[in-house]
Structure 1
Amino acid sequence: PRPWNNSPAFIHVIRNKRSFTVDSRRPEGLAIVKSLIAISDVLAENLARGTLEKLGLDDDAIRAARPDIVILHLPAYGRTGAYVEGRGYGAHIDGVAGSTILRGYRDSAPETNIQTFAGDFFVGMHGGFAALAALRHRRRTGQGQTIELAQAECSASMFPQAALDAAWNGRAAGSIGNRSTEGFAPNGVFAARGEEQWLALSCRSDAEWAALVDYLGRPSWATAPELATAEGRRAAEDAIEEELAAWIAHRDREELFRDLQEVGVTAGPVLSAKDVTEDSHAIQSPAFQRLEATEDYPTTEFPAPSFTFSRSDVTIRTAPALLGEHNDYVYRELLGISDEEYAKLEADGHITTTYADEVLGR
């Protein structure tokens, strides 16, 4: 297998897309890129600041090729401001956005955190929505637009509670583990019977707590009058969690999940990625779609779009594109390159299905 084609991170984002190759650093490669821009509706980029300009593709050059194009810039920290020259990947953007400090075990240091990079998905969603809004504007006015979407700013909006608390009250929120920022108590994840069997449990209201107490058999520790209110439970959260952990540890996760849901307590199993792919609910729903094997990865049950439409078929239309898989389509069908030109570009290294030796470190 070619490693650049079988990385799960790459495969996940390259579905429903086409892939072609070109060396835009060379004049003939840049001309090809401009020809493609001329027939495109949107150009989206998240390169380091100045990269497009060095290639000769600043906004003016892009608009010279297609005046009404929608240009979507996704810089790490924006195109103006103190951090304008900064580069960033997920870990850096999450850090600047203030989200890294909020994750992890209660009162833990950021160095013990996990690398979630939720901002990558959040930014992509907002970028797609912004591009669609700009295309709608173009349809009505004939005008293109340039969009700037700073990834750090977008990622910061994932946690408005912490930002507003800081602005209003001068407090700096830290990590609280699985406890609730909205006052639910108890709210946590507990180990059930068996290896790596975990149950998430929340009591959003006093009524849910009362239902949980009844299900527990009304033990003395849970029937104390002060625990009847959320305020009282928050004050005793450590003790409540300790009692629940001891009780849940000897019980079956699936049985608890179904029983608690039935009596009105919000609970659910904490599944591993492997569990999710084997879960009966996911299998019976359109959560996964089979992708046939290629020379680079085996037959795979792939996450399908998470929404369904009543009048449209929303699915994975094409399998994840392999590097350069659609060179023929782009060069011959879209750009009308002749056989002779195609052969020359291939011989010069523009058209390929592998990376250059200098990139691979050979």
Structure 2
Amino acid sequence: MSDRLPLSGIRICDFTAVWAGQTATMYLADMGAECIKVENPYIWNPMTRAASPRINGMIAQMLPPWIAGHPTDPGPRPWNNSPAFIQVLRNKKSFTVDSRRPEGLAIVRQLVRISDIVAENLALGTLDKLGLTDDTIRDLRPDAIILHMPAFGRTGAYTEGRGYGAHIDSVAGSSVLRGYRDSSPGDNTSIFAGDFWGGMHGAVAVMAALRHRRRTGRGQVIEMAQVESSMHMFPQAALDAAWNGRAQGSVGNRSVEGFVPNGVFPAAGTNRWIAISCRSDAEWHALVGALGSPSWATTPDLATRTGRATGEDELEARIAEWSANKDRDDLFHALQAAGVTAGPVLNAKEAAEDSHLAATGTWKRLPATEDYPEVDWLRPAYRFSKSEVDLREPPCLFAEHNDYVYREVLGLSEEEIAQLREAGHIAETFAPEALAGG
């Protein structure tokens, strides 16, 4: 296995925010790209590092865990350990500069000139307002790959629309297609799958552009509308609407591919559930055996998927009655052993402690810092056969790599660095006015 990573030697000038853009650059950084995150110490962005600069232990207990679920008091710099964003900061470098001022913009232009990729998912036109139009970037770096990740595209009826993952999911149709079968879309809680779909598509688009540049020497401008990538979550509904004029609704936990039974069933205990799916008639017969071959399950009409679909409500009720007094994990292992597709429904704590995830190398322990304790971190969810793609560097702290970027990457003199530090571009933390605004 080679020590050289797939994207070694590639540099990213990273303007991304929230989850979608930061996820895209996270994947690229995982594969070896040097990702330099441009951070402004005078601007507090609550959707990039932390919901608020004033989160304490009491507030952390009140907010949803994914926003501020700190196991202890988050300390004086909650932006360095926010559970909402810390994972997407792995394998990256952070430096500070106020790009709104001429001398700060000059620093950013220097970085763009020596970067292969410029990535952003900011509000439409933000880089243009700074003077970093596509044409300007290509003047600075003719073969640059520019990744734009707007919510709804840079042209069209929704151009001015701004949104987070929940809004993108809704516009794409997710809110209509998920949820219980007897509920309305307004009953659904927000999800943010669009962020991660957008991140994956953005990373793949950049890798395709790098391959194209290697062959032709030319860069590309990529417009990766996040709402379009979210459509891939439910292609069957989009195609049904386009071809047949049918508007699908939620099927709950049932299968859009016609597997019967397919659902989440109760197990013994409080709020314990198991997912069971018979993806073939053979799996159904295996489930019948696990049920103990009761007479109701051995009738000829249930032997085929079509027959089972006819009485799916009653079938689900029978299985739920049977599973409700079974231990979830014992049943999971028994069904798997019998050849039935099944799995336990785990909460976040159970998932973190799951022996299967541990055995597959999902976690990697990193030493404590003054901003977060020694804990297990998610590693990349994929492995390459020829290179060691992994969690190499812990999540970058705010301003952690100022010295590296200004001295080694940009090659500034000590006098220039001193001047930039005096002007507030090189900072160790957010400016008081940014913290007050947050």
Distance apart, 1:116 and its partner CA: 2.2
The 5 Å alignment of 1:350-361 reads: 350-361=425-436
Are 1:319 and 2:407 counterparts? no
TM-score of the pair, normalised by structure 1: 0.96
Specify every segment of 5 or more residues in structure 1 that has no aligned partner in the other structure, as ranges. none
Distance apart, 1:223 and its partner CA: 2.2
Counterpart in the other structure of 1:281: 356
CA separation in 2, counterparts of 1:215 and 1:130? 46
The answer to whether the 8 Å contact 1:6/1:296 transfers is: yes
Distance apart, 1:77 and its partner CA: 0.7
Are 1:270 and 2:345 counterparts? yes
The answer to whether the 8 Å contact 1:5/1:296 transfers is: yes
CA separation in 2, counterparts of 1:314 and 1:139? 21
Distance apart, 1:70 and its partner CA: 0.5
Distance apart, 1:158 and its partner CA: 2.0
Secondary structure, aligned partner of 2:342: strand
CA-based RMSD: 1.4
Are 1:299 and 2:389 counterparts? no
Distance apart, 1:195 and its partner CA: 2.6
303, 317, 324: which one aligns with 1:242: 317
Counterpart in the other structure of 1:169: 244
Distance apart, 1:354 and its partner CA: 2.2
Counterpart in the other structure of 2:117: 42
Are 1:19 and 2:94 counterparts? yes
CA separation in 2, counterparts of 1:36 and 1:212? 60
Distance apart, 1:239 and its partner CA: 0.9
CA separation in 2, counterparts of 1:45 and 1:283? 34
CA separation in 1, counterparts of 2:298 and 2:138? 70
Counterpart in the other structure of 1:330: 405
CA separation in 2, counterparts of 1:307 and 1:156? 23
Secondary structure, aligned partner of 1:8: coil
Counterpart in the other structure of 1:86: 161
Distance apart, 1:188 and its partner CA: 0.6
CA separation in 1, counterparts of 2:240 and 2:256? 11
The answer to whether the 8 Å contact 1:107/1:176 transfers is: no
Amino acid of the residue matched to residue 386 of structure 2?
Answer: R
TM-score of the pair, normalised by structure 2: 0.80
CA separation in 2, counterparts of 1:91 and 1:308? 30
Counterpart in the other structure of 1:158: 233
Secondary structure, aligned partner of 2:200: helix
Amino acid of the residue matched to residue 313 of structure 2?
Answer: D
The answer to whether the 8 Å contact 1:107/1:174 transfers is: no
The 5 Å alignment of 1:99-248 reads: 99-248=174-323
Distance apart, 1:196 and its partner CA: 2.9
Distance apart, 1:147 and its partner CA: 0.8
Distance apart, 1:129 and its partner CA: 1.2
The answer to whether the 8 Å contact 1:20/1:327 transfers is: yes
Amino acid of the residue matched to residue 217 of structure 1?
Answer: G
CA separation in 1, counterparts of 2:226 and 2:131? 24
Secondary structure, aligned partner of 1:312: coil
Distance apart, 1:10 and its partner CA: 1.3
CA separation in 2, counterparts of 1:347 and 1:174? 59
Distance apart, 1:241 and its partner CA: 1.1
Secondary structure, aligned partner of 2:100: coil
Distance apart, 1:277 and its partner CA: 1.6
Query: What are the Cα deviations for residues 296-325 of structure 1, in whole angstroms up to 9, with x where unaligned?
Result: 211111111122233321210100001111
Are 1:308 and 2:383 counterparts? yes
The answer to whether the 8 Å contact 2:166/2:194 transfers is: no
CA separation in 1, counterparts of 2:428 and 2:305? 60
Number of residue pairs matched? 362
Query: What are the Cα deviations for residues 27-66 of structure 1, in whole angstroms up to 9, with x where unaligned?
Result: 0110000000000000011011111111111111111211
Specify every segment of 5 or more residues in structure 2 that has no aligned partner in the other structure, as ranges. 1-74
Distance apart, 1:228 and its partner CA: 1.6
